[in-house]
Each structure stands twice: as structure tokens, then as C-alpha cells.
Structure 1
């Protein structure tokens, strides 16, 4: 009987304590909730890692909550960091953050891993959180380029970089490389590129020979590095809109060993030819008075005359005439036209013309006649 009484008494004392503990656990669970969360990056590529941060708020104004375990993830979204397995206190009306590293190898889609938490007082809570996976990369397109490229001529190029993703990306860097070409600038830092936006990158290329440009964009999706690239062939063709100065009506004269060449330059192109200059090239040796001749600016269909003088070795049968001009960007463009010295007309510079002498004789005769006439009139 005594044993039975003791057992009954102990049972009476324990049961109310268990009921209070259950009540406290339920109250804790009812007052603790996830007030906010972030996933960075907000959208993952397959193979990316991200940082998930949960903000847990204790809505009880009088009672603290002791957390003894917290974790996040499932078979699709894998937890790559540790769980919270030590007691963490959340004071009345306070909010604490719980940070996890996660990763996934899943294909594109939306997954719902669980954030779960248990309390020292018993019971616990959990919530499912969407995590998006999207493998859409940035897009790079050639927005503007010239119709033709010419050796040594600087041309502008514009590249558009677009972000079709549903999240921002950071540390966006554009880079252009290529052999036998000068690129300015070769690298541009874009920085952040918001979701659904695009930006233009401008640079110039001055090719020395036909080549291929390699265009590359590096960017970060969170702390994950990604890249896109494309190529741009640089081929030399004729620019339909460029200036086209042409030499014509060339006349070659030889006077005491010095060649005097005259002619016209006509701009047969569709753009201005600026600073048009004509001079002779090796083996010719420019001589005064016209070592080179500056015509200036020639508008489309306009023309100008030139004259250059030079000497040349006796064995030379032809020399180049060099024509240079500047396009609207200041690029210097040169063309060469060979002239045949055997077609030169020899001037009689060593035999003075009879015309000046005849004029002098006539003046002397008229003067003498006038003098004699005047003298005769005075004598009369």
C-alpha cells in the first residue's frame, strides 16, 4: 500500500510539469517566426554556391527563446556549411540572423528546401524557401561597327552587354584582344548590371592587317565567376563612303636635270579628303621650289592642281608620286602612283628664247628714233 501511494504521488507531481513544458514549447513556437530571408545570388546557375540568410524574430515581449539547432537544405539544394548546434538566445522582440552556404547541381527550375529550427524548451519550427536555378547567361552583341576596315585606319566599335537574368550581376568587365591591331581601350569595367538592363561599351580598333578580335565579358553571379565571349572578324574591304583622291592630267617636264611635274587631284569619294599633299618618293630627291605641294581639303567631286620638282638618278625611268590625306578621324591615308620619266618633255632652258631679245631691240630702236626725231625738231 505504501509503495502504491508513493507511485501515485510521484505521478501526480510529474504530470503537471510535463503539461507546462508542452504549453511553453507551443507558446515559443507560436511567437517565433522567420521575418525575412535573402538568397545571394538570388538566382543560381547549376554548380553555383550561394549564401542564404534567415532573420528569425522572437515576437514574445516578455520571454527569451533558446535555439539549440538550425539548418537549411534538402536533396536538391545542398548545405555546404555547418548547422547551428549550440544554444543561441533570441531576446524578447529581438531578431537574429542565421547564415548558411548552399550549392546545387540541379538543372534550371525552382526548388523548395526547408529551413528548420528546434528550441531548448522543446518543439520547433520550419519553413520552405524557394531557390531558383536559371542557366541563362549575359548576352553580348555588336551594336555598331564600320561597313569596312582599312589598314592603319582607326574605326569605332560599339558592343552591347545585356543581362536577361532575373537577378543582378556584379564585377562585369569587358575585354577585347586581337593580333596586329591597336585597341583603345582594350578593357572596360562596367561593374553592376541590373536584371533586365543593358549597357554600351565603346572602343576603337586600328588594324595593321586582317585579323580577328576576341571579345570577352567576365562577371560574377554572387561569388561565382562566369564568362561569355564572341569573335569579330576584321577584314579589309573598300569603304563605300570614304574619300578617294585621284591624280590625273600629269605633265612631266625636264629642265637642266630637274623634273617639274604638274597635275590635278580630284576627290572621287563621298567624304572630305583633308590636308591633301603631293610629293615625290624615293629614288626621287625633292628639290626647291616645290619639294611638296599642299592642296588642302577636297570635298567630294572637288579638285585641285599641284606641282612638284625633284631630281633623279640618270638610270631611273620611273618614280612614285605619293599622295597623302587625312580622313575625318585624323587617320593619315597614303596612296602611290608611279610616273614614267621617259615621257618627260625637255625644256630649252639652255637656249634663251628670242622673244625677250626681240622686245628689247624694238624698244631700243623706238627710243633711238624718238630721240633723233626730237633732236631734228629742235634744230629746225
Structure 2
């Protein structure tokens, strides 16, 4: 005879069977205790058998039978409970975490990220879940109560659990724990490593002259380096400075992979002594970051500039002015 697992009066099939067995055992234990106690009070006691007939027995036999019956029932109680629990535990043992995705894969301090767990039920029975949590004493989980409701992972199916986290800790590796709590079979725990790094985009400038000449074009090379383990995307460099003309209002570099660098050249024409600022914006995952770099622009005489020298020049002064020849 085959039973289909379904809800009966608000209970799962295993809970219903357990309830019925316990009820039968409790009622039978009450009957055995009654038999035992009445055997003590009287020498003879008539009890109905299954067919409604009367059975007459002595008090000694009644006490002995009632006591043995009571002991047997006590032994049956854990057997029934463990039998049902074993079935639930066996089904839950087929549930496992098959994939974890952290986006971005490395978080900057202060970044918000997403952690998605893929859970698969490889067994042939449905598994009921009461709730799921991501717990950490270091990483803040922004939606810790999102999976409080019960749900069921069907046999041979997968289910995803996504949590939003805030990396509000200094650079380190942290290990939050994913808990999947079953209705009737304990829980599943799965720890994951989350790497947090300090936000840092290295900026350097090459070819900086000691002084700049007013109205003269100078070339400056900006180098950007990513010394971190995370991919930086959407990198844009914007130059600015009072009294400075630049051949580019902005420069889009794009992506900068881990442990790589790129360079971009700017041409500027200063008119006053000022500061030249390079504002750099970029993203890591869903998080935006900004940094800046400034260099002083001081007007003066360019020591490397050519000085014209005139030789063999004769100056003749007349009534109409001076004449140069040579």
C-alpha cells in the first residue's frame, strides 16, 4: 500500500502518522496502567477482550501482564518517533549547496554586494524548509528576514536564496554562514569566504615640468593602476583647473582588470599659476567610487626652452630709424 505525502489537517504526512501512533500508544499505556492498578486493588478483575468477551484473571497475573505491557509500550515510543525522524533526516540529507555567486567577487570597504546560494534536492522526496538565513558577526546582512516563510524544495529541483550584504569592515577575509532550517530534520550550514579590500586606484603622473610657460602647450601622461583583486569598470578621467585649457574635457578608459594599468595623455595650456586636478570615477559591481589627483602648475621660465642668439648683426641709425643688417 502506497501513501502520498500531503497535508492532513494542517500537518505533513509524517507529522500525521506520528500523531496517530503517539495517540494509540498513550491510550494503550493508560489501559495497561489501569490493568496494573486494578490488579493491585482486587484479586479478580474482568476486562473485555477484542470480541467483547469477559476474561477473568488473578491479580498477580494482571499486575505482571500490565507491567510487561507498559514496558513494551515505553520501548515502542522512541522507535516510532525515531522511525519518522529518520525518514525526514534521510530526505534532508539529499539537500546540498551546489553553487555560490558573490557579486562583485571582491568587495571594497563600504560596498554593497549580492550573495546567491543555489540549493539542490538530489533525493526522491520533497523537503520542507521553515526558514533560511545568512549570519555573520562582521558582514552586515541587509535583508536577513527575507526567507522567514516556509517553503518546499521538490525532489530533483533547485532553489536560489539571494542576500544583500554590506562590507563595512576593513580589508580582510570574512566567513558568513548560510543556514537552511528544515521543518523536521535540523538544519544545513554552509560557510563562504567573502574578501573585502580597501578601495584604491593608483594614480601617477609622468612628464611633469618644474615650471610651465604661459600660453605654451605642455604634455602630461596620467597612469592608472589597479593593484586590487577586483575588476574596475567604467573608468573616466576628467581634468580641471582654473586658467587651464586642455585638449580633452574627459577621457573614458573603460575597464581595468586586477593587477593591470593604463595610461592617457593630456595637453594643457596654462595662463595662471594654479593646480591641475584629475578626477577619476569608476565602479566595482553595483558600487560607484571616486578618487582624485592634483599637481601644481607654476608659471615661470622654461629652463629647457631655446634662447635665440643673433650674430654678425650691424645696426645703422638714420633719420628714419634704425636698420638691422647682417
8 A contact 2:92–2:185 mirrored in 1:
no
Distance 1:107 1:208 in 2: 43
Distance 1:194 1:250 in 2: 66
Displacement after TM superposition at 1:181 (Å): 0.6
Distance 2:91 2:318 in 1: 112
8 A contact 2:109–2:199 mirrored in 1:
no
Q: 1:250 and 1:182, CA in 2 relative to 1: closer, same or farther beyond 3 A? A: farther
Higher relative contact order (CA 8 A, sep 6+): 2
11, 20, 26: which one aligns with 2:89 = 26
8 A contact 2:244–2:269 mirrored in 1:
yes
170, 174, 178: which one aligns with 1:115 = 178
Query: Are 2:280 and 1:217 equivalent residues in the alignment?
Result: yes
Bigger strand share:
1
103, 126, 142: which one aligns with 1:64 = 126
The runs of 4+ residues in structure 1 deviating greater than 4 Å are 5-17, 252-255
8 A contact 2:174–2:194 mirrored in 1:
yes
Give TM-score scaled by structure 1 length. 0.60
Q: Secondary structure of 2:89's partner?
A: helix
In structure 2, the partner of 1:4 is 31
In structure 2, the partner of 1:99 is 162
* 1:219-238 alignment, distance < 5 Å: 219-238=282-301
Q: Secondary structure of 1:245's partner?
A: coil
Q: Pairwise CA RMSD of aligned residues?
A: 3.0
Distance 2:150 2:289 in 1: 39
Give TM-score scaled by structure 2 length. 0.69
Ranges in structure 1 where 5+ consecutive residues have no aligned partner: 265-380
Distance 2:241 2:266 in 1: 13
Q: Secondary structure of 2:149's partner?
A: coil
Ranges in structure 2 where 5+ consecutive residues have no aligned partner: 1-26, 34-68
* 1:343-354 alignment, distance < 5 Å: none
Displacement after TM superposition at 1:200 (Å): 0.8
How many residue pairs get aligned? The number is: 261
Displacement after TM superposition at 1:99 (Å): 0.7
Task: Give deviations 1:239-274, integer Å, cap 9, x for gaps.
Answer: 44444334562535657x5x574346xxxxxxxxxx
Displacement after TM superposition at 1:105 (Å): 3.1
Displacement after TM superposition at 1:10 (Å): 8.5
Distance 1:170 1:74 in 2: 29
In structure 2, the partner of 1:80 is 142
295, 307, 315: which one aligns with 1:251 = 315
Distance 1:79 1:169 in 2: 24
In structure 2, the partner of 1:340 is none
